[in-house]
């Protein structure tokens, strides 16, 4: 979303973070090898560490979250079979049809307010034994936290119910945990408690954790061996990428607990926005680093609000015709948050200029 005005406060996405000097130093010092041959010691260290954190046997480093997700989907669903996910899920909305294009996977969805999981919805929707007439459901995908839902943290008990309801029925579970770190920091629930309720889990190092690139898929050793073959087939076999894995290891050491600061800032912004335009956001629902602001409540279209914010040097993302998304991250501090409040609260209060 290029703008012509200079950007002072960039709330477009937590993918914008730039590697810190310390992270760059860790990258420069990393021992490396050829990872296609499984010989990069830093990649191996990262994979082992993430697998253990998520309570799984093995893991695989990938360039992107989309590739980690697509490998996960591929493992569980054959061409002509289906996955189901909520209608706002990243795998359905923002991976450009990759499941269909790369793996011949059919998809269906259920509608979930704020992306919040209610296990009875996928359990009611799935058709594990479709026979020769209905498409067989082979996978349910859950996103935690939920990006387009507004950083929603999924309830552990709903994920448990989904686990119990799918076992022994030929339906696997994949967790799109691009921001699972945020859920862990917001709730204090161990990453492995979440991870163990899924057959495969993807996590991203390149979002709030601040690495320039990198995601990890975790699962059983057999699944990861198969995913390694498909990663190469998809063109994602990488060579001396310990320099990138080192950024991820550094992020795990230094950038996880600090996500609480992003959450506090997002919440502070949401409280100010709710005061300026009641109903535009419920601060109680802002659990992590993402705020979905329903600007139509204040008479704005999303595009007009994004343009007005840009005039104040603030960059946002329109998630629909009526709502915008603001994302807090490593490079947005308290002062920047104050600036965002000072610029955007009056816009919400006044509504758009009359024409
Ligand atoms: C929930 C979720 N899953 C997956 C991805 C894909 O990550 P990448 O952009 O690295 O492909 C994103 C990206 O923003 C995301 O928000």
Residue 200 lies in a domain: yes
Answer for the pair 242, 39: CB distance below 8 angstroms, yes or no: no
Q: Is 209 in the pocket of ligand 1 (CB under 6 A)?
A: no
Residue 343 structural domain: 9-16+258-350
Q: What is the mean pLDDT of residues 133-139?
A: 97
Ligand 1 center–CA 91 separation, angstroms: 8
Of all protein residues, the one whose alpha carbon is nearest to atom 5 of ligand 1 is 65
Residue 65 CB–ligand 1 contact under 6 Å: yes
On the question of pLDDT at 234 being above 90, the answer is yes
pLDDT of residue 5: 60
Q: How far apart are CA 200 and CA 187, in angstroms?
A: 21
Does the beta carbon of 204 lie inside 6 Å of ligand 1? yes
Q: Is residue 342 part of a domain?
A: yes
| pLDDT value at residue 239 | 98
pLDDT in tens, 22-80: 999 999 999 999 999 999 999 999 999 999 999 999 999 999 999 999 999 999 999 99
* pLDDT score recorded for residue 354: 85
Token pair, residue 102, equals 């790369």
Residue nearest to atom 16 of ligand 1 (CA): 147
Confidence of residue 7 (pLDDT cuts 50, 70, 90): confident
Residue 347 has pLDDT above 70, yes or no: yes
Tokens of 320: 């629909």
Count of the separate structural domains present in the chain:
2
Question: Do 330 and 199 sit in the same domain of this protein?
Answer: no
CATH of the domain at 61: 3.40.640.10
Q: What local confidence, expressed as pLDDT, does residue 148 receive?
A: 96
Q: Do 307 and 192 lie in a common domain?
A: no
The answer on pLDDT for 1 being more than 90 is no
Residue found under tokens 């029925």: 169
- What is the 169 CA–ligand 1 centroid distance (Å)? 29
Whether cis (ω within 30° of 0) applies to the bond prior to 174 is: no
DSSP code per residue over 10-68: E-S-GGG----HHHHHHHHH-----GGGT--HHHHHHHHHHHHHTT-SEEEEES-HHHH
The Cα–Cα gap between 177 and 91 comes to 11
**Residue 130 confidence (pLDDT):** 87
Mutate to test the pocket of ligand 1, among 88, 93, 147 (most ligand atoms within 8 A of CB): 147
pLDDT tens column, 144-177: 999 999 999 999 999 999 999 999 999 999 999 9
Query: Residue 244 C-alpha to ligand 1 middle, in angstroms?
Result: 17
Ligand 1: atom nearest CA of 176 is 3
Residue 21 lies in a domain: no
pLDDT of residue 188: 98
Residues 120 and 238 in one domain: yes
Of 309, 52, 53, nearest to 190 by C-alpha is 53
Same domain? For 272 and 294 the reply is yes
Residue whose token pair is 């296609």: 36
Helix and strand element counts for the chain (H, E): 15, 12
218 domain residue, yes or no: yes
Q: Are residues 142 and 214 in the same domain?
A: yes
Distance CA 22, CA 5 (A): 31
Contact 265, 257 (CB under 8 A): no
Asked if residue 166 and residue 93 are part of one domain, the reply reads: yes
Residue 4 lies inside a defined structural domain of this protein: no
Residue 328, domain CATH: 3.90.1150.10
- Model pLDDT, residue 67: 98
Contacts of residue 167, Cβ cutoff 8 Å, sequence gap at least 6 = none
Rounded mean pLDDT, 238-250: 98
- Co-location of 171 and 278 in the same domain: no
Same domain as 203, residue 124? yes
The residue from 254, 288, 318 where one domain ends is 254
pLDDT above 90 covers what percent of the chain? 97
- CA 102 / ligand 1 centre spacing (Å): 17
Domain boundary among 207, 226, 254: 254
pLDDT-derived band of residue 6, with 50, 70 and 90 as boundaries?
confident
276 & 341 share domain: yes
Whether residues 88 and 210 fall in one domain? yes
Condensed to tens digits (0 to 9), the pLDDT of residues 318-328 reads: 999 999 999 99
Q: Is residue 90 part of a domain?
A: yes
pLDDT digits (tens, 9 = 90+) for 184-219: 999 999 999 999 999 999 999 999 999 999 999 999
Looking from the CA of 225 toward its CB, the CA atoms found within 13 Å total 4
Per-residue buried b or exposed e for 190-199, using 16+ beta carbons within 10 Å of the residue's own CB = ebbebbebbb
Are the C-beta atoms of 83 and 70 separated by less than 8 Å? Answer: no
Q: Are residues 80 and 177 in the same domain?
A: yes
Same domain, 140 and 204: yes
Of 234, 254, 274, which residue is a domain's last? Answer: 254
Does residue 25 lie within any of the structural domains?
A: no
In the chain, pLDDT over 70 holds for what percent of residues? 98
The span from the CA of 10 to the CA of 284, in Å, is 23
Instruction: Put the strands of the sheet holding 106-110 in their side by side order.
Output: 58-62, 215-219, 200-204, 172-177, 137-143, 82-86, 106-110
Residue 192 lies in a domain: yes
């Amino acid at each position: 979303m290029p703008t012509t005005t200079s950007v002072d406060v960039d709330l477009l996405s937590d993918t914008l973070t730039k590697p810190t000097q310390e992270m760059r130093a860790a990258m420069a010092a990393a021992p490396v090898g050829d990872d296609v041959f499984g010989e990069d010691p830093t990649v191996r260290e990262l994979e082992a560490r993430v697998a253990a954190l998520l309570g799984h046997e093995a893991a695989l480093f990938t360039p992107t979250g989309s590739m980690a997700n697509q490998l996960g989907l591929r493992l569980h669903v054959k061409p002509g079979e289906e996955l189901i996910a909520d209608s706002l899920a990243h795998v359905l909305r923002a991976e450009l049809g990759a499941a269909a294009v790369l793996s011949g996977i059919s998809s269906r969805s259920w509608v979930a307010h704020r992306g919040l999981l209610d296990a009875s919805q996928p359990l009611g929707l799935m058709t594990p034994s479709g026979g020769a007439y209905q498409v067989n459901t082979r996978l349910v995908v859950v996103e935690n936290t939920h990006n387009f839902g507004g950083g929603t943290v999924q309830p552990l008990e709903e994920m448990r119910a989904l686990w119990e309801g799918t076992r022994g029925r030929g339906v696997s579970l994949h967790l799109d945990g691009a921001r699972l770190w945020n859920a862990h920091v917001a709730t204090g629930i161990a990453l492995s408690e979440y991870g163990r309720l899924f057959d495969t889990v993807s996590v991203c190092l390149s979002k709030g954790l601040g690495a320039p690139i990198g995601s990890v898929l975790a699962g059983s050793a057999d699944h990861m061996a198969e995913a390694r073959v498909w990663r190469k087939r998809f063109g994602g076999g990488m060579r001396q990428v310990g320099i990138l894995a080192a950024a991820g290891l550094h992020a795990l050491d230094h950038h996880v607990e600090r996500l609480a600061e992003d959450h506090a800032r997002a919440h502070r912004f949401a409280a100010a926005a709710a005061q300026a335009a009641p109903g535009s956001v419920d601060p109680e629902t802002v659990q992590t680093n993402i705020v979905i602001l329903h600007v139509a409540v204040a008479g704005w279209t999303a595009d007009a609000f994004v343009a007005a914010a840009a005039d104040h040097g603030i960059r946002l993302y329109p998630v629909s015709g009526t709502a915008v998304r603001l994302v807090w991250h490593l490079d947005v501090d308290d002062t920047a948050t104050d600036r965002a409040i000072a610029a955007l609260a009056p816009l919400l209060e006044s509504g758009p200029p009359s024409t």
